């Protein structure tokens, strides 16, 4: 019998999470559509905004995303003039990021639309529940999961 049909079977936590992410992502994307920003870009702009000219590595760490992925994601935002980078004064390896005035303006515009979506969401699930969900998600994100290091059989 399929393992998937065993009594104790539990659905994949990861698949469930991604499914929800796709669903919610579309909602926030729709809300932000008028700004031309994707919800992911909004989140990135926001993260930069609330940081102090963060280094790329710092942003990547905060968002738990691959450094190279961050670099890729940043490109369209730089191309469109919302973000600019500059070398760190003390360590030439470090590249810092900041919003341009245009980026700040775009973020303001986006925050208004985001607020509507966010409100819509919280009205549906309840602010309380939403907060709990975010806390749970943060906990999951920060779990220090590690595979049992496939015990070398020697």
Partner DNA sequence: TCCAATTAGTGGCATATGCCACTTTCATCG
Partner DNA sequence: CGATGAAAGTGGCATATGCCACTAATTGGA
> If binding is defined by CB under 8 A, does position 138 make contact with a copy of itself?
yes
Phi-psi region of 64 (alpha: psi -120 to 50; beta: other; left: phi over 0): left
Beta carbon of residue 92, minimum distance to a copy of itself (angstroms, whole number): 29
Inter-residue contact 14 to 29 (CB < 8 Å): no
Question: Which sign does the torsion angle of CA 54, 50, 141, 16 carry?
Answer: negative
Out of 1, 7, 22, 52, point to the residue binding a copy of itself (CB under 8 A): 22
Q: Which among 58-66, 72-80, 89-97 is the span making contact with a copy of itself, rule CB under 8 A?
A: 58-66
Inter-residue contact 28 to 43 (CB < 8 Å): no
Name residue 99's beta-bridge partners: 83
Q: Which is nearer to DNA, 67 or 127 (CB)?
A: 67
148 binds, among DNA, a copy of itself, none (CB under 5 to 8 A by kind): a copy of itself
Binding to a copy of itself, residues 107-126 (CB under 8 A): 111, 114-118, 120-122, 124-125
Beta carbon of residue 50, minimum distance to DNA (angstroms, whole number): 17
Name residue 87's beta-bridge partners: 95
């Amino acid at each position: 019998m399929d393992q998937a049909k065993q009594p104790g079977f539990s659905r994949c936590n990861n698949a469930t999470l991604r499914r929800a992410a796709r669903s919610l992502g579309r909602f926030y994307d729709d809300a932000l559509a008028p700004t031309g920003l994707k919800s992911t870009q909004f989140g990135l702009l926001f993260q930069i905004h609330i940081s102090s000219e963060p280094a790329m590595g710092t942003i990547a760490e905060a968002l738990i995303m691959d450094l190279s992925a961050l670099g890729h994601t940043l490109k369209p935002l730089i191309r469109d003039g919302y973000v600019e980078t500059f070398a760190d004064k003390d360590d030439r390896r470090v590249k810092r990021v900041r919003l341009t005035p245009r980026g700040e303006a775009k973020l303001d515009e986006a925050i208004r639309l985001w607020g509507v979506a966010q409100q819509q969401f919280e009205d549906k699930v309840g602010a309380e529940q939403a907060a709990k969900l975010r806390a749970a998600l943060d906990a999951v994100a920060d779990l220090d999961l590690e595979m049992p290091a496939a015990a070398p059989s020697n």
